[in-house]
Amino acid sequence: MAEYPADRFDELPDDVARVGAHRAPRPRGRGWIAVAWAALASGVFVVAGLWGLSLITDRVSFEIPSFEASEPMPTPTTPSSAPPSIEPITNPDDAELPSGFTITILNGAGVSGLGQTASGILSDADWRVGTVTSAAQDDLEQTVVYYNAPELEGVAFGMVSLLGAGTVELSDAFPGAPITIAIGTDFAALQE
């Protein structure tokens, strides 16, 4: 083998941790970064898939934590019908609604597809329906329209008017949902 004279490239300090001409050893633990990204991506795809299925069918329900009730569905203490001074608002153009206003529908009648039926009725009247899912209880006898602000009382009475069943109740049991409709068997009876 040929011998070459030493030059400046042969004199390297001992603290340089290079392998070959330009590579340093890979830091330990880099493999876990790829595993963490893969786990995060898998979780996002699973949640998105379940959410998509819950929009398509009532058989799959994707429970949103803010709507889950550890207690039974609140029952109206003083159900009211529209007094003469409250005009039911059945057209969204007639109401001053907060930005991002949507209606949440909870199917508490135990009849598959009833939430989508109610959603269709409200959508046909140009109301924006957000979440449609099953209620914590599936044996509600009476439909209740919960509203979270006094200025939405006319809208709540409008929902009762459009659905043809129910009572209204001012409640803060559903934070983040201005109008929540818990469908009961009285609405199911109207659909038969």
- Judge whether residue 67 has pLDDT over 50: no
Give the global pTM. Answer: 0.57
The set of long-range contacts for 60-64, using a CB threshold of 8 Å and a minimum separation of 24, is 61/133, 61/134, 62/133, 63/133, 64/131, 64/133
Note the helical H segments in the chain.
31-56, 114-124, 153-163, 185-191
Query: Mean pLDDT, to the nearest integer, of 124-138?
Result: 89
Domain boundaries along the sequence of the chain: 88-191
CATH code of the domain made up of 88-191: 3.30.70
Confidence of residue 147 (pLDDT cuts 50, 70, 90): very high
